[in-house]
Amino acid sequence: MSDLTDLPSPVPPSVTAAWIGLMRAQRIVLAAIEADLKAAGLPPLGWYDVLLELARATEGRLRPFEIEKRTLLTQYNLSRLIDRLEGKGLVQKALSGEDGRGRWVVITQDGRAMQARMWAVYSRALSDHVGRKLDESSADALASLLAKLTDGG
């Protein structure tokens, strides 16, 4: 009886190494950053992503489906994340005039303050866990290699 695991893989070792490295690096760095946020008594990174998009948007507001595209959050997770943000007073929901199906999610002053407080910790964590390990040209090179993975096709 042959064992498929013994057959030579059609996947070049460099490709598996890249993939495993991608998973490991993302998990390890993300865990480190989340730990720093938690140690500072701040909410998880997902909150930051939403707050940042809102803070950058004109009039500090976006439709949920716009946030969804920008953040890669799923529709149902975003729906509930917005509820939590609203529960903490960081955003408000408003009815959309133009589209009766839609809602606006509007960032509050507390929301902007939270985004800034989180960035203070987040940016330090980024410097620490990414910047300290890659010089700028390596970081550029990494970013452009990663972009190849997500570009269309």
Q: Which residues contact DNA by CB under 7 A?
A: 38, 46, 63-65, 68, 74-77, 79-84, 93, 96, 99-103
3-state class (DSSP) for residue 92: strand
Binding partner of residue 142 among a second copy, DNA, none, CB cut-off 5 to 8 Å per kind: a second copy
- Of 67 and 115, which has the nearer Cβ to DNA? 67
Number of residues that bind a second copy (CB under 8 A): 58
Question: Does 10 help bind a second copy (rule: CB under 8 A)?
Answer: yes
67: how many CB neighbours lie within 10 A of its CB? Answer: 19
Binding partner of residue 103 among DNA, a second copy, none, CB cut-off 5 to 8 Å per kind: DNA
The C-alpha atoms of residue 147 and residue 44 are separated, in whole angstroms, by 25
Question: Does 147 help bind a second copy (rule: CB under 8 A)?
Answer: yes
Contact (CB, 8 A) for 103 and 93: yes
The C-alpha atoms of residue 8 and residue 37 are separated, in whole angstroms, by 44
DSSP per-residue codes, 39-90: HTT---HHHHHHHHHHHHSGGGEE-HHHHHHHH---HHHHHHHHHHHHHTTS
Question: Does 12 help bind a second copy (rule: CB under 8 A)?
Answer: yes
Question: Does 116 help bind a second copy (rule: CB under 8 A)?
Answer: yes
CA 142 from chain centre, in angstroms, equals: 18
Select from 40, 55, 57, 106 the one that contacts a second copy (CB under 8 A): 55
Binding site for a second copy (CB under 8 A): 3-5, 9-12, 14-30, 55, 72, 112, 115-117, 119-120, 123-124, 126-127, 129-134, 136-143, 145-151, 153
